Amino acid sequence: MLIKQQITIREATPQEDSLIAKHFYYMWRDIGVSDDAINPNWLEITLQYIEQARRDLFYKAFVAEVDGAVVGSASCQLYSGLYPNILMPQYRKYGYIWGVYVELSYRRQGIAKQLTSATVNHLKEIGCTRVRLDASAMGQPVYESLGFCSGNAMQLDLIDTAFIP
């Protein structure tokens, strides 16, 4: 008999920033990024980023708890953009979701979906008009089930690729 565990989604505290950073690291490892490609100072880099994002970009993180243990997390913030945003906020104020992670033994229970929903609700509360995220192949069905759709973002990988104009 399968016992359904109680899942609680709550706002993360600043004291949990290191855990959020570890989940972010584990997420990269889970999608196949080798340790060689990850900066050895990943923890310090991530903690500094969270501090700056909390100060300047309405950063907020959420955690999932099962039986009092944190088993997943997700972060969100205002999207700082790649170019100057000259549009009025009521037309373009994007939010960005990053670092959605659930421990392996707790996956396929709807936790990532609940964490993502919490981030979307926060971004909506602060007036965002659109939410962006970069999905792994594993995460894509989760986000599509929440109404996210593929956009017109295109990329060209320049590592191990010959660019021919």
| Closest-CA residue to 92 (of 121, 119, 130) | 130
At residue 31, φ and ψ (nearest 5 deg) are -95, 10
Residue ranges of domains in the chain, CATH in brackets:
7-145 (3.40.630.30)
At residue 129, φ and ψ (nearest 5 deg) are -100, -15
- In tens digits, the chain (165 residues) has pLDDT values of 455 679 999 999 999 999 999 999 999 999 999 999 999 999 999 999 999 999 999 999 999 999 999 999 999 999 988 888 888 888 889 999 999 999 999 999 999 999 999 999 999 999 999 999 999 888 999 999 999 987 667 677 787 666 667
Q: Which three-class secondary structure state does DSSP give residue 74?
A: strand
pLDDT of res. 32: 93
Neighbours of 55 (CB within 10 A): 9
